[in-house]
Amino acid sequence: MRFYEYESRRIVERAGIPVTDYGFATTAAEAGQAAERIGGPTVIKSQVLTGGRMKAGGVRFADSPEQAEADAAEILELEIGGHVPVGVLVDPKAEIEQEYYAAVLWDGRAKRPMMLFSDMGGIDIEQVAAEHPDHVGRGHLSNLHPIADFEAKQAVARCGMTGSALNRASAVLARLARLQRDYDMTLAEINPLARLADGSFVALDAHMEMEDEAVGRHKPMLHEIGVDLDEPRELYEPSEFERNVKAIDAADHRGVIQGKDHGFHGDLGLVIGAGGGSLTLTDAVRSQGGRPANYAEIGGNPSVAKSKGLAIEVLRKDGVEKIAVMMSIVSNTRVDIVARGVIKACLELGKDPAETIAIFRIPGAWEEEGYRILDRYGVEYCDRSVSMWEAAGRAVARVQGDRTGSQ
Amino acid sequence: MSVLLHEDFTFIVQGITGREAVNLTRECLDFGSAIVGGVTPGRKGREVHGVPVFDTVEQVVEHHGSAPDGAVVTVPPAFTKDAVLEAIENGIGLIVVVTERIPRADVAQMVELANERGARIIGPNCLGVIVPGVAKMGGIGGPARDAAKAYAPGPVGVMSRSGGMTTEISSTLTAAGLGVSTAVSIGGDAIIGSTYAELMPLFDADEQTEAIVIYTEPGGRMEAELVDWRERAGSELPIVAFMAGRFMDDEEMQGMSFGHAGTIVEGKEDSATEKIARLEAAGIPVVERIDEIPAAVKQKLGAAA
Amino acid sequence: MHGTFIDVEVSGAAASDPELARKLEEVCPVDIFAAAGGTVEIARENLDECVLCELCVEAAPRGTVVVRKLYDGTRLER
Ligand code: SF4
Is B144 touching A (CB cutoff 8 A)? no
Q: What is the value of ipTM here, to two decimals?
A: 0.96
In a domain, C21, yes or no: yes
Q: Domain with C57 in it: what CATH number?
A: 3.30.70.20
Return phi, psi of residue A358, to 5°.
Answer: -65, -40
Q: How far is CA A288 from CA A303, B287, B289, in A?
A: 31, 15, 11
Report CA(C8)–ligand 1 centroid distance (Å).
Answer: 8
In a domain, C1, yes or no: no
**Lowest-confidence pick of A58-62, A111-115, B111-115, B216-220:** B216-220
Domain hosting residue C10, numbered range: 6-76
In a domain, C71, yes or no: yes
Q: Is B260 a catalytic residue?
A: yes
Determine the 3-state secondary structure of A90 from DSSP.
strand
Residue A407: what pLDDT? 42
Where helices occur in chain B by DSSP H, the ranges are 19-31, 57-64, 77-89, 104-117, 144-150, 163-175, 196-205, 222-233, 272-281, 293-304
Atom of ligand 1 nearest to the CA of C49: 3
Alpha carbon of A258: minimum distance to chain B alpha carbons (Å): 10
| A344–C4 CB contact, under 8 Å | yes
What is the Cβ-side half-sphere exposure of residue A272, based on CA atoms within 13 angstroms? 32
In a domain, C60, yes or no: yes
Nearest to A277 by CA among A206, A229, A327: A327
- For the residues B128-143, what does the mean pLDDT come to? 96
Domain count, chain C: 1
Integer Cα distance of B140 and B168 in angstroms: 11
Report CA(B131)–ligand 1 centroid distance (Å).
Answer: 35
Where helices occur in A158-212 by DSSP H, the ranges are 163-182
B67 has a pLDDT exceeding 80: yes
- Which of A253, A306, A340, A348 is the best residue to mutate to test the C interface, defined by the most C CB atoms within 10 Å of its own CB? A340
Per-residue pLDDT band for B27 (boundaries 50, 70, 90) equals very high
Residue C13: what pLDDT? 86
Strand (E) or helix (H) holding A322: strand A322-326
Task: Fill in the amino acid letter for A2.
Answer: R
| C49–A343 CB contact, under 8 Å | no
Residue A236: what pLDDT? 74
Please name the fold of domain B10-304.
Answer: Rossmann fold (3.40.50)
Integer Cα distance of A81 and A156 in angstroms: 36
> Helix, strand, coil shares of chain A as percentages rounded to 5?
45, 25, 35
Residue B243: what pLDDT? 95
Per-residue pLDDT band for A343 (boundaries 50, 70, 90) equals very high
A357 has a pLDDT exceeding 80: yes
Domain extent listing, chain B: 10-304
- For the residues B14-21, what does the mean pLDDT come to? 91
pLDDT in tens, A182-194: 999 999 999 999 9
B262 has a pLDDT exceeding 60: no
B267 has a pLDDT exceeding 80: no
Is A232 touching B (CB cutoff 8 A)? no
pLDDT in tens, A365-374: 999 999 999 9
Return phi, psi of residue A111, to 5°.
Answer: 60, 35
Whether a cis peptide bond, with omega within 30° of 0, leads into B124 is yes
Integer Cα distance of B141 and B124 in angstroms: 17
| Contacts of B157 by beta carbon, 8 Å cutoff, 6+ apart | B3, B180, B181, B182, B183, B184, B203, B206, B209, B211, B212, B213
Q: What are the structural domains of chain A?
A: 21-92 (3.30.1490.20), 96-224 (3.30.470.20), 240-405 (3.40.50.261)
Nearest to B71 by CA among B110, B105, B106: B110
Residue B270: what pLDDT? 67
